[in-house]
């Protein structure tokens, strides 16, 4: 029976586990064993993981794989990917190999501006507020100097602050809308610290401003927070080749493939039901690299999907064209990433992943991550428009199904061979394994 508990966070890890297994599991031994078997035997490493978040009781593992043969702007990369979904790493690797022989991926960063906002309520005269903002804008920036000093030495800092009138949406609602350059840091803590200082200065200076009436001086700060919508932190990745070079088998010509591929893209551009799944496939590649490199994939997801809706309809993030016999496939996507700060200097696998990528700057990582998304989308659309998505996906999923049935090594070898020429489905695997076991028993 569930029960409440006070002071849970103050308990030791072992006491937390005792309470969890006693409260929620009939077989406390099994539950405790599962939790503890994922602890790292290196106590120092385990303590590091324990301190990443509060109330840690164990580690949750995801497969850490690699996709080789990515040629990006003339440089070869092996891209690390942390993801549980079967076929993602295989699909990325296949797309990388396909484009390796066709010039590889071309990328460039369009812009790196990030956004933060102070949200405030003011019910006085608009002109008075504008005059006040104009008079203290430089002080807002100056009061942040202790926070921005090191960032400015590296070439970053506060780019601009605007006063935005949102009163048509909410009565009395205004914003201090600030833009930032955070270089190789994702910059969340830096931006939020600046915003909170803006709010303090704005509120305190309002009390001293002679242009306000006494009532107008009472400005209410609602909150100060960065935005994960970063439409001006953009990167572009593309591939291109002659249409006839798109064919690598006798099953279809390059022209047939290109035309069908373009139709698939056009459908995702205008049909939200398709666009969501289309973009989810892109995020399979992007999230896997973002997670492997210690970045915030939830922030990336939120910003990307907002960007996909920027024109009033949720639409494809990738696009394609054929001009003068050349097929071009590209992606422009907002990515706020960091290669310093956060987990990048703490998590051993994150450090290893960044080392594998040749210690990229934030701009370089933006380009690598965008390529992973483009490659994933190309592989998915190539399967969808030729053999169908299930043929490759279910073959990759075969091992998961076999593990669900506790197949041993000999059974796995036989069924893997069998399904090289047969359609994989959960029922087909179950029936084939059952027949195999019956024959062995007989």
| Residue 435 annotated to the active site | no
| Residue 160 annotated to the active site | no
**Other CB atoms within 10 A of residue 426 CB:** 13
**Closest listed residue to residue 120, CA positions, set 163, 74, 85, 65:** 163
| Residue among 137, 166, 177, 280 flagged as catalytic | 280
| Residue 280 annotated to the active site | yes
Bridge-based pairing state of the strands 318-323 and 326-334 = antiparallel
| Residue 296 annotated to the active site | yes
**Closest listed residue to residue 193, CA positions, set 182, 184, 205, 204:** 182
Bridge-based pairing state of the strands 114-121 and 173-181 = antiparallel
- CA distances, 100 to each of 58, 73, 386 (Å): 41, 11, 21
Q: Which two tokens stand for residue 72?
A: 């990006």
The total number of residues shown for the chain amounts to 442
Report the C-alpha gap between 361 and 381 in whole angstroms.
30
Q: Indicate the burial class of 357 (C-beta count within 10 angstroms; 0-12, 13-18, 19 or more).
A: buried
Alpha helices in 218-296 (DSSP H): 254-270, 272-292
Q: What is the three-class DSSP state of 237?
A: strand
Report the C-alpha gap between 193 and 225 in whole angstroms.
9
Could you give the angle at which helices 188-206 and 145-153 cross, rounded to 10 degrees? 140
| Residue among 85, 248, 256, 269 flagged as catalytic | 85
Which residues are the active-site residues? 85, 280, 296, 393
């Amino acid at each position: 029976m569930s029960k409440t508990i006070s002071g849970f966070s103050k308990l030791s890890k072992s006491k937390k586990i005792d309470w969890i297994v006693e409260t929620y599991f009939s077989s406390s031994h099994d539950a405790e064993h599962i939790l503890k078997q994922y602890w790292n035997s290196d106590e120092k490493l385990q303590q590091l993981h324990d301190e990443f978040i509060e109330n840690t009781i164990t580690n949750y593992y995801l497969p850490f794989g690699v996709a080789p043969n990515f040629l990006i702007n003339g440089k070869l990369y092996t891209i690390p990917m942390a993801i549980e979904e079967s076929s993602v790493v295989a699909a990325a690797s296949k797309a990388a190999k396909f484009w390796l022989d066709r010039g590889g991926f071309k990328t460039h960063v369009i812009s790196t501006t990030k956004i933060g906002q102070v949200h405030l309520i003011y019910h006085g005269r608009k002109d008075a507020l504008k005059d006040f903002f104009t008079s203290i804008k430089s002080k807002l920036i100056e009061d942040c100097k202790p926070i921005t000093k090191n960032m400015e030495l590296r070439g970053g800092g506060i780019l601009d602050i605007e006063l935005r009138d949102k009163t048509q949406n909410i009565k009395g609602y205004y914003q201090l809308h600030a833009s930032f350059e955070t270089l190789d840091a994702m910059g969340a803590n830096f931006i939020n610290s600046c915003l909170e200082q803006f709010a303090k200065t704005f509120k305190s200076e309002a009390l001293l401003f002679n242009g306000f009436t006494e009532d107008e001086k009472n400005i209410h700060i609602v909150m100060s927070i960065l935005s994960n919508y970063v439409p001006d932190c953009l990167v572009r990745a593309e591939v291109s080749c002659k249409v006839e070079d798109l064919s690598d088998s006798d099953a279809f010509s390059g022209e047939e493939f290109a035309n069908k591929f373009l139709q698939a893209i056009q459908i995702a551009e205008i049909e939200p039901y398709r666009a969501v799944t289309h973009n989810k496939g892109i995020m399979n590649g992007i999230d896997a690299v973002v997670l492997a490199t210690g970045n915030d994939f939830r922030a990336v997801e939120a910003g990307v999907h907002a960007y996909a809706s920027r024109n009033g309809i949720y639409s494809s993030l990738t696009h394609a064209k054929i001009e003068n016999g050349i097929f071009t496939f590209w992606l422009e996507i907002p990515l706020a990433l960091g290669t310093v700060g956060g987990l990048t200097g703490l998590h051993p696998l994150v450090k290893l992943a960044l080392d594998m990528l040749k210690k990229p700057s934030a701009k370089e990582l933006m380009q690598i991550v965008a390529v992973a998304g483009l490659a994933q989308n190309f592989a998915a659309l190539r399967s969808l428009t030729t053999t169908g998505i299930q043929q490759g996906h279910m073959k990759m999923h075969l091992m998961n199904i076999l593990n669900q049935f506790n197949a041993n090594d000999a059974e796995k070898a036989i069924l893997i061979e069998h399904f090289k020429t047969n359609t994989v489905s959960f029922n087909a695997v179950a029936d084939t394994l059952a027949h195999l076991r019956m024959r062995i028993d007989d």
